[in-house]
Amino acid sequence: MESLKQAIRERGNVLSDTVLKVDSFLNHQVDPKLINEIGQAFAERFKNEGITKVLTIESSGIAPSLVVATHLGVPFIFARKKKSLTMTDNVYRSQVYSFTKQETNEITVSKDLLHADDRVLIIDDFLANGQAAFGLCEIVEQAGAQVVGFGIVIEKSFQDGRKKLTDKGYRVESLARIQSFKNGTVQFVDEFVTQLSK
């Protein structure tokens, strides 16, 4: 998705060889025009899949999920990382190790919201090693529902999350795929492949 790649190039900050900061348009401040295009792009790719729910983790997955869900005309659910006083024990639970925070969070979703007949699209802002993705998968499995696929805004293709998911037979749709952050610059997978074939 060209507008997303442009935002990453112009407004993203490469913090290290493995971490990209996108607080100016996705993770802290949100660019409404861009997030709308992101949501529309996912909805277009999954429109024929009979999706009944969109699922993400708070907080960075919420903005794109809201737009996808709006376009697909289905509810979206965000798994909670912190216990809420209003949440009873009637929850599905899973443990997720955070790549950026380097801590494990228990994520929960109310059993009232996900059911065995649901066809679920999982959305997240980044895919690195797949911990968040598999944690959300576990929740869907506990409900007896089906994971239809993953919509990832930014995939770091040099980490093994995509491979782990596709090896299990899951469909993964990423709007920007990053080959590397070498020398502080973002190299996208498609540009890298084009260069190799020249």
Q: Do the Cβ atoms of 105 and 98 come closer than 8 Å?
A: yes
Q: Does 14 bind ligand 5GP (CB under 6 A)?
A: no
**Is residue 60 a contact point for ligand 5GP (CB under 6 A)?**
yes
Does 7 interact with ligand 5GP (rule: CB under 6 A)?
no
Q: ∠ at Cα 83 (100, 28), nearest 5°?
A: 40
Helix (H) or strand (E) holding 128: none
Least distance in angstroms from the C-beta of 85 to ligand 5GP: 25
29 in a known ligand binding site: no
- Tell which positions 84-103 bind ligand 5GP, by CB under 6 A: 98-100
Kindly tell me which of 13 and 194 has the beta carbon lying closer to ligand 5GP: 13
Q: Is 128 annotated as a binding residue?
A: yes
Beta bridge partners of 51: none
Residues in binding contact with ligand 5GP, number by CB under 6 A? 20
Within 10 angstroms of residue 84's Cβ, the number of other Cβ atoms is 10
- Binding flag, residue 155, ligand 5GP (CB under 6 A): no
Which residues contact residue 171 at a Cβ distance below 8 angstroms, ignoring those fewer than 6 apart? 148, 149, 150
47 is in an annotated binding site: no
The reply to whether 50 sits in an annotated binding site is no
Amino acid at site 27: N
What letter would DSSP give residue 98? -
* Residues between 118 and 147 with contacts to ligand 5GP, criterion CB under 6 A: 124-133
156 is in an annotated binding site: yes
Going by C-alpha positions, the residue among 123, 122, 120, 130 that lies closest to residue 162 is: 130
Positions in the binding site for ligand 5GP (CB under 6 A): 19-22, 27, 60, 98-100, 124-133, 161
